[in-house]
Amino acid sequence: MRRIQFFFITILAATSLSAQEVWPGDVNDNGVVNAVDLLYWGVAFGVEGPARAATNSDWAAQPFPTPWSQSFDNGLNYAYADCNGDGVVNADDFDDAIDDNFGEENPPIGFEGYANASGNAPKLKLTPSQVLVEEGAMVSVSLSIDNSQVALDSFYGMALQLSYTTGLLEGDDGPDFDLEEDSWLESDESYVQELFVDDDGMGTAQLGITRTNQQSITAQSGVIGQFDLIVEDIIVGLEVDTFYLTIDSVFLSNDRIAAIPVIPDTTFIVIAKDTTKLTTNWKEIDLTEQTTMIQAYPNPATDVVFVRSPIPVRQLRLVGSNGNVWQEQSSLTPSLISELSVVGLPAGVYWLQIFTEGGVLHKRIVITGS
Ligand SMILES: [Ca+2]
Ligand SMILES: [Ca+2]
Q: What is the pLDDT of residues 34-49, one digit of tens each?
A: 999 999 999 999 999 9
Ligand nearest to the CA of 103: 1
Cα–ligand 2 centroid distance for 38 (angstroms): 14
Q: Establish if 133 belongs to a structural domain.
A: yes
Cα–ligand 1 centroid distance for 101 (angstroms): 11
**Cα 234 from Cα 83, distance rounded (Å):** 44
**Cα 278 from Cα 285, distance rounded (Å):** 11
Considering the domain architecture, whether residues 222 and 135 belong to the same structural domain is answered as yes
**Cα 39 from Cα 231, distance rounded (Å):** 32
Considering the domain architecture, whether residues 151 and 61 belong to the same structural domain is answered as no
Q: Is a pLDDT exceeding 50 seen at residue 197?
A: yes
**For residues 202 and 175, is the Cβ–Cβ distance under 8 A?**
no
Count of C-beta atoms within a 10 Å radius of residue 254 = 18
Counting the structural domains of the chain, the total is: 3
pTM of the model: 0.77
**What is the tens place of the pLDDT at every residue in 320-338?**
877 788 888 876 666 667 8
Cα–ligand 1 centroid distance for 112 (angstroms): 7
Average pLDDT over residues 138-147: 95
**Cα 317 from Cα 340, distance rounded (Å):** 8
Grade residue 174 by pLDDT with cuts at 50, 70 and 90: confident
C-alpha radius of gyration, the chain, whole number: 24
Residue 273: left if φ>0, alpha if ψ -120 to 50, beta else—which one? alpha
H or E segment and range at residue 294: none
User: Where in the sequence is the domain holding 55, given as residue range(s)?
Assistant: 2-99
Q: Establish if 114 belongs to a structural domain.
A: no
Cα–ligand 1 centroid distance for 37 (angstroms): 5
Cα–ligand 1 centroid distance for 228 (angstroms): 27
pLDDT for residue 11: 41
Ligand nearest to the CA of 78: 2
Ligand nearest to the CA of 89: 2
Task: Identify residue 107 by its one-letter amino acid code.
Answer: P
Q: Establish if 115 belongs to a structural domain.
A: no
Ligand nearest to the CA of 65: 2
Cα–ligand 2 centroid distance for 216 (angstroms): 23
Q: Establish if 110 belongs to a structural domain.
A: no
**For residues 196 and 176, is the Cβ–Cβ distance under 8 A?**
yes
Ligand nearest to the CA of 84: 2
Cα–ligand 2 centroid distance for 185 (angstroms): 24
Cα–ligand 2 centroid distance for 89 (angstroms): 4
Q: Establish if 106 belongs to a structural domain.
A: no
Ligand nearest to the CA of 62: 2
**For residues 163 and 248, is the Cβ–Cβ distance under 8 A?**
yes
Q: Establish if 158 belongs to a structural domain.
A: yes
* Beta strand pairing call for 295-297 and 225-230: unpaired
Residue 232 vs residues 116, 138, 235, 236: alpha-carbon distances, Å: 32, 9, 10, 12
